[in-house]
Amino acid sequence: MDPSTYGERIADVYDDWYGDATDVEGTVATVARYGTSVLELGIGTGRLAIPLADAGLAVTGIDASPAMVDRLRAKDGDRIPVVVADFATVPVEGPFDVVLLAFNALLVLTEEADQVACLRRCAEVGRRVLVETFVPGDAAPSQGVDVRHVDADSVHLSAFKVVDGVVHGSIVSITEAGIRLRPWRVRLATPAALDAVAADAGLTVEARWSGWREERYVEGESDRCVTVYRPSSQYRQETCR
């Protein structure tokens, strides 16, 4: 599985399945408060990027999947510049007011060293880094199969297994035409663990909420986390020498 695999396998159904997966309106409003230029890592089909651009923000994106970017282009033309590449290395130059890693994008990097390297580059090109992730529960199962959808023509199952802190999953679509696998992986990480990764990358926590409308984050209760990181003053001094 390479950085493009998830997008290449999910692009045909992504907007139908995940179009309202997170709070788009809240995301746009919060991002806009931090500036007018945005770099979105894992821009995908433009689920967030197009509303951000519609709100008057200058959006640039990175995504490893040509199929996902093709979907964005079909909806929005060439208005939003996109680099087709692995976003782990953040292969663009700034500065941007906001670097956005929404809907678990940072967790797709399943090695801590890759997360540190990615966030370090984010600190170099962005004035703020906004990260949205789910919060793993203490009692979460280590493996399982869930039924997502059943009708006369198709069955969709979601199977997963946790190995060394990484969830390996796949959505299995069964139709009369055959079986299609849509694999995914994410690294389990608590907000505290991500804060440590961010600190290694030269970032410090400025704000934290449980949602994009600044809902209060409660340790041990909130199942999602939105964190605003900013480059530490010491890191800024060192990189500007």
pLDDT for residue 161: 97
Q: Look at residues 94, 97, 95, 83 and name the one whose alpha carbon lies nearest to residue 41.
A: 83
Tokens of 41: 């890592």
CA distance between the termini of the chain: 39
Yes or no: domain 5-136+189-239 corresponds to CATH 3.40.50.150:
yes
Distance CA 97, CA 42 (A): 17
* pTM of the entire predicted model: 0.93
pLDDT for residue 237: 45
- Asked whether 144 and 117 are in contact (CB, 8 A), the reply is no
Element (H, E) at 179: strand 178-187
Per-residue pLDDT tens over the stretch 24-70: 999 999 999 999 999 999 999 999 999 999 999 999 999 999 999 99
Per-residue pLDDT tens over the stretch 205-227: 999 999 999 999 999 999 999 99
- Domain ranges (residues) in the chain: 5-136+189-239, 143-185
Fold of the domain built from segment(s) 143-185: N-terminal domain of TfIIb (2.20.25)
Burial 184-206 (b: 16+ CB within 10 A, else e): bbbbbbebeebbebbbebbbeee
DSSP readout, 2-33?
Answer: -TTHHHHHHTTTHHHHHTTSS-HHHHHHHHHH
